[in-house]
Structure 1
Amino acid sequence: MEHGTILRGMTSDGSARITVIDSKAIVNEMIRYHKTSHTASAALGRLLTATSLIGCLMGEKENTVTVGIHGAGPLGKLLAVSDYYGNVRGYVENPSAEVPRKPNGKLDVGAAVGGGTLYVIRDDGKSPTPHIGTVGLVSGEIAEDIAAYYAESEQIPTLCALGVLVAPDGSCLAAGGVMIQLLPFADNAVVDLLERNASALTSVTDLFKSGLSCLDIANIAMKDIPFDPFDEITVDYLCNCSRTRMRDALLKIGEKELKEMLDEEEAEGKTRALTVSCQFCNKSYVFEEHDLINTEKGEDK
């Protein structure tokens, strides 16, 4: 099984931090689960890539981050969730939606997403209320929108480059991202060099497709800037659904409502059972009446 890779580092003087991800394996796993169109693959793939980059910068193992888009385009809603390690899962409301390509032949992610809002939910796993930040979409191309979120909601100057290259057969040939963030009291000379080097990051997918590693790309972004790579970690498309989780979610509906739902199934000539599908991996769980209308927990499978 292939895995994604994230490299994390910081300039030697503490002016900026950099994270680079090779997310090809993550995107291909997402495509396998959701059977996405070419443009949906690019859009959700970029969002998963960005969310993984955000997630791997969180401070505690209990932390999670959710990044969602409410777009007016044909793709509808997009959502991605990352854990502390950068493992992600996500979904798109209309995975088969497609739009015409741009005049240059590239996928038009902005048109597929449309106008709308981007929101980020940071949950530390302890506070009763998570922190939520929302910004209007700048372009719908995802990378610019992530940078705008950081600038407006967290006041962190951020360079974000994302890319997903989809093959004619619908598979992902290359995918990845780079995120560079300025830290307080960043040296102006370092800022100038980062801005100069940014021009070499216009196509992250071309860099990965050519065989470059995360470290190679970090070296391009940090050319002439001393920096220290901290670590390189493995990340995956990882869904944590289970029969127990799904059953617990159904039980929150209430016994009366569950009985009404079961009655409706029976009235339609179906078995008195409820089928619940995970929005992240499309796995289905079937619960018969005795699984729901009693006090014992169902076995986790």
Structure 2
Amino acid sequence: MADQLIKVITKDEAFRAFAVDGTTLVQEAAEAHETSRLASVVLGRALLATEILAQAALKGEERLNVKMSGRGPIGQIVTEADTHGAVRGYVSNPNIEPIVNDDNQLNVAGAVGNNGSFQVTKFAPYSNPYIGQSIMVSGEIGDDFTYYLTHSEQIPSVVGVGVTMNPDDTVKAAGGFLIQALPGATDEQLVELNNKLQKMPALSTLLGNKKGPLAILDAVLGDKNYHELQAMTIGLAAEPDKEAYAKQLATLPSSEIQAMIDEDGGAEVRGKFSGKKHQFTAHELDIILQGVLKREAEEDKQADDSSDEK
């Protein structure tokens, strides 16, 4: 079954909630970036939280970028998502060695760190980007998204994300949720929600249920205590094709392309977000180079003409 995100509102209209099962997309991201066991968990949590945030915060053709710099050994974590269910991301150190806590469990917070910045940039057509910032408070990812929404966006929220690995380092289960209080929520309702959150089973247990994301919502909000508003398929953002990367290479100065031909006999381009590699032979680079030389000659001519007019 395809990965799915579900949006609901409680019957008393006190909360809206989002739940996601993203097991497949996290496994695909781990394979694309060749991540270690620990990096797969960190990247997976970040992808899931970003996808949920995008569905909660964006509309139309908007998109967002999240950068987490906790100053831990995994380095920077960068993710992006849009309103159509596409998400992508990467970590600076995808090969990080295992770090475990006292319970011999993977130490996500130790890998991410909690002494740095959390930044969300929202992009909208025909307007300047909006940048929101907060601090990293735990390095567990979900807590850091919660803190950002509550303190920077001033929206009482709870974000939970989890990734469970198989013994062979493939992804067993990956999912998460976001719950946000609506203006009519009372103190009593907030306390009741907190009690349910304290008692809810582990996400890995809930995701083993055939109900998928609905199992998470039932555990947090109460069985059938909500109206479903939307269900959508989610997945990794499409990988740019080789032609798109060729166009990017064509923006470089001719001297740099010539150096790739002379010194390396070609070029390898690796997408930061996709992890996929594209090879360009010397012949392919030479074709790009001829176009760049033509462009540079036209620019020089225009500059000379402009100088003559003066």
Identity %: 28
Contact 1:193 1:225 (8 Å CA) reproduced: no
- Opposite residue 126 of structure 2, the aligned amino acid is K
Query: For the residues of structure 2 that align with 1:102 and 1:144, how far apart are their CA atoms?
Result: 18
Shift of 1:45: 0.4
The match for 1:217 is 216
Moved more, 34-43 or 216-225: 216-225
Gaps of 5+ in 1: 297-301
Pair member with larger Rg: 2
Gaps of 5+ in 2: 295-310
The match for 1:299 is none
Query: For the residues of structure 1 that align with 2:155 and 2:46, how far apart are their CA atoms?
Result: 19
**Cα distance, 1:292–1:188 mapped onto 2, change above 3 Å:** farther
Moved more, 231-240 or 173-182: 231-240
SS of 2:56's equivalent in the other structure is: coil
State the aligned residue count: 289
- Opposite residue 27 of structure 2, the aligned amino acid is N
Moved more, 210-219 or 232-241: 210-219
Shift of 1:279: 1.2
Shift of 1:105: 1.9
TM-score of the superposed pair, with normalisation by structure 1: 0.88
Query: For the residues of structure 2 that align with 1:276 and 1:293, how far apart are their CA atoms?
Result: 19
Question: Deviating runs (4+, > 4 A) in structure 1?
Answer: none
Query: For the residues of structure 2 that align with 1:61 and 1:8, how far apart are their CA atoms?
Result: 16
Alignment of 1:1-301 (within 5 A): 2-114=1-113, 115-127=115-127, 129-201=128-200, 203-223=202-222, 226-253=225-252, 257=253, 259-268=254-263, 270-271=264-265, 273-285=266-278, 286=280, 287-294=284-291
SS of 1:56's equivalent in the other structure is: helix
- Opposite residue 119 of structure 1, the aligned amino acid is Q
**Cα distance, 1:225–1:44 mapped onto 2, change above 3 Å:** same
> What's the RMSD between the two structures over aligned residues?
2.2
SS of 2:120's equivalent in the other structure is: strand
Q: Tell me the alpha carbon deviations over residues 146-183 of structure 1, each in whole angstroms, 9 at most, x when there is no partner.
A: 00100121001111111000112110101100110112
Contact 1:69 1:119 (8 Å CA) reproduced: yes
Shift of 1:202: 5.7
TM-score of the superposed pair, with normalisation by structure 2: 0.86
Shift of 1:123: 0.9
Query: For the residues of structure 1 that align with 2:22 and 2:276, how far apart are their CA atoms?
Result: 23
SS of 1:57's equivalent in the other structure is: helix
Query: For the residues of structure 2 that align with 1:152 and 1:292, how far apart are their CA atoms?
Result: 50
Shift of 1:56: 1.8
